Structure 1
Amino acid sequence: MDPDTAQLILPELLMLGGIIAMILVPNLGDATMRIPLTRTRIPILIGGTRFTTTNNPKLPNQIATTALALAFLTSLLFLGEEGEVGNSLHVDEFSRMFTLVFTAALVLASLATTARLPARPGASAPLDTDSTARSDGKVNALIDNRRQVDFHILLLTTGLGMSLMAMATNLFMLFVCLELASLSSYVLVAFHKEADVGGEAGTKYFIVGSVVSAVGIYGMSLLYLWNGSLDMADLATSWDAMETMDPFAAIGVGLMLVAFGFKVGAAPFHLAVPDAYAGASSPVAGVLATASKAMGFVALMRLLLVVTMPSVGQAFWLLALAIVAVVTMTWGNLAALTSDNPKRVLAYSSVAHAGYMLAALTAIGSGLADPDTSTLIVTAVVFHLVVLVLFKMGAFLVLSMLEAEG
């Protein structure tokens, strides 16, 4: 890999490095290996009794937080950089802006889990208000590196998948990266599997997500059958050249809209969202409400505004998206009135916010907006997502503190 390419994907390399460090560093110990046919033993470092430093229960959190913070800073530093990475990834200001959104949400989630992640069933997280002896006892009884490592590897994998997905210029690459992040988020939702609500929420989220992903892949296969390529530029050219709507193209895009509608939490594809938020820990629910939603909107914008946006502005998906936006806004706000669970209220609020942003995309598809106005609308959607990270994530972090205090 040449230095220029490495600089372009430095945030992703940092997250990958964090994953590798998470696998190796907490397992460093005093294990030795005997050289065959001799009595000499040499240190192999992996295994045995772990060193005091590597046995620190907060080490995985420190590694993950550092990797995510560095990824955020490098994305901000190289925000104006642009270039191709292979045939399926393109780094530009748009993709890097979303990397900032993803990593900001994940850094906050990682910070919120410091010394608050139970490691064994039935134990509670240590509190700052506990006496030293009691707190130490809780740490020793609760926190185990293995489970800490699992949790934070999943956080980093989610961030890596999201960041790569934002750079994708090929629908197949986009879907693979989307699923990398999604599969990690399914496990994060069910991470506290000892609690019935966590396991149930994770199972529902996984089943619904798997079905929706299958629908999206089928839609993608229809687009490939129609065009012979999944490159977004090729698809856009073929779409613009169509004189009459091809059924394969229309059905393929429609099925992919269903898949991406689930990712953003739009009604009526939102049915698993309230359960997932309620069953997940508050920091994870915050990631779902912010970073995961932003990931879905990147995919939607790539599909609707790059592939299927004709020059005349008469987007065939306009009416369907407009109806979904209205239903999502209305249902999200009304359903929240019937719930007394704070996480469910925030979940329905998140659904309503998805409707607001879908309405903005609908305005672009109507053809009433000139190119400059369309760019301004996309900027407004990105700004909405940035504000969502700051305020919605903040609400979930407050819930996390309240949960930790009982």
Structure 2
Amino acid sequence: MKNQSVLANIDWVIVIIYIILVVIGWANIYSASLPAEETFILDTTQKYGKQLMFIIFSIPIILILLNLNAKIYEKFSVLFYFVGIVLLLGLFVFGTTIKGQTNWYKIAGFGFQPSEVVKISCSLLLAKFLSYPQNNLNKPKIQYIALAIIMFPVALIMLQPDAGSAMIFLALIFVLNRYGLPSWYIWTGVICIFIFVLALFVKPVFIVSLILIFTIIHFIINTKISRNPIVYILTFLLMAGYTLSVDYVYENVLESHQKDRIDVMFKDNVDMKNEGYNLNQSMIAIGSGGFSGKGYLQGTQTKGNFVPEQHTDYIFTTVGEEWGFLGSSIIIGLFVVLILRIIIRAEKQKSKFSKIYGYCVATILFTHFFINISMLINLFPTIGIPLPFFSYGGSSLWSFTSLLFIFIKLDANKVNEW
């Protein structure tokens, strides 16, 4: 079947929401970075001027992505992944260290974060690998390969170290679960996180005792899976060893800022003028907005620069202060509609590659959106996650734009996939 015009086939609902989010995001960056003396909006010495240039340069990126043959994304997915890995490896030689993390290239005064690009290439390769009929995730070998595609960049990113970006990649395990990866992988991760947090407050010996009790009970009542006692013993020993190692990891492995972020969320005796300052100012700014907000460009916390990094990871505090609960709800609603729309369109794809990639896009966007907003209200540790299409930065905007419009192209091209 002959393809029609790309513009005639693209999902305009997704495109319009994207445009709205980018425009509102820029408006909030303008508010968060507006100097005392008014300047031209294209003044590239100011954050809002640079962001506007980033937005303008997004247009040719979108046009290129929409006009490329859709089969290119699947055909060259391995190459895209390889280039992404090379870029990550290059950071250890040519990267710039900022706040203890070597995750940026500095080129002609501009920063480039390769992990943003690798999210796209990793999603493409996962979709490519899982689209083969013989690659059934019920097979252990296929599980290991799929997990390796995710874990290889995670390992390199953790060495930078950048736990926030690594967490986004780990979220792709939910996509694997959607296509057959056993749920015990996810439950193992959840249990490990729960035990780690619990071990910060409860003596390890009590936790190990509870694990032993649950292991014995499960062995007695289990009738569905193998009751091999050796498996149970090994499982208990692994969980006990992990529990006993938490204190050592917390005190000797984690960096001071990482411990501070955990303490701020889970402990009461935190100095809100030091390690808890960012969160405290964030919650003050959001709370001060009330129901309808103080009005655009009228935020006192924003204008006083009380919230650190407000134009990047903390950009939503500007929405909360100046637009209030009502405005915040509208923005959250737009993100929810966008993500649900992507999932709906993904389900309608004739190509398994396009379908899986669509789920990867929805997962990445949701994880960024959920963590970014949650960390501003102390529902998640602060880990430096940008809000898609909102936060300041060319790497962030261009990577999210590319991630989304590749799917829009695949979705528009489904008329050819019979």
Tell me the TM-score range normalised by the shorter chain. Answer: 0.3 to 0.5
TM-score (norm 1): 0.32
Q: Which structure ranks higher in relative contact order (CA pairs < 8 Å, sequence separation ≥ 6)?
A: 2
